[in-house]
Homo-oligomer: A and B are copies of this chain.
Amino acid sequence: MGIEDAFGQVVRRMRKERHLSQETLAFNSHLDRSFISLLECGRKQPTLITIFQIARALNVSPSEIIKAVEELEG
């Protein structure tokens, strides 16, 4: 499993745990909804700042997201 795929799955899981739509997550993270979709599908990878934006919108620390990615990918 690729890192981008793992990241997408982690974000999707965390988003659904919080009962957020992609649209709401996009709004709260100041990102485009279509891009959130591409991320969750593992078709794009984020930059550092994007990771921090998404983490903030999910009310989780960026390192927790990355840790989850490591566990899913490793």
Contacts and interface: CB of A to CB of B under 8 A. Distances in A.
Interface residues of A, number: 18
Please give the count of copies of this chain that the complex contains. 2
Main secondary structure of the interface of A (DSSP, over half): helix
Interface stretch (A17-25, A27-35, A44-52): A44-52
A45 B51 CA distance: 11
Interface in A1-44: 3-4, 7
A57 interface: no
A47 B4 CA distance: 10
Which 10 residue pairs spanning A and B have beta carbons closest together? A63-B67, A63-B66, A45-B48, A63-B63, A66-B66, A62-B66, A47-B47, A45-B47, A46-B48, A3-B49
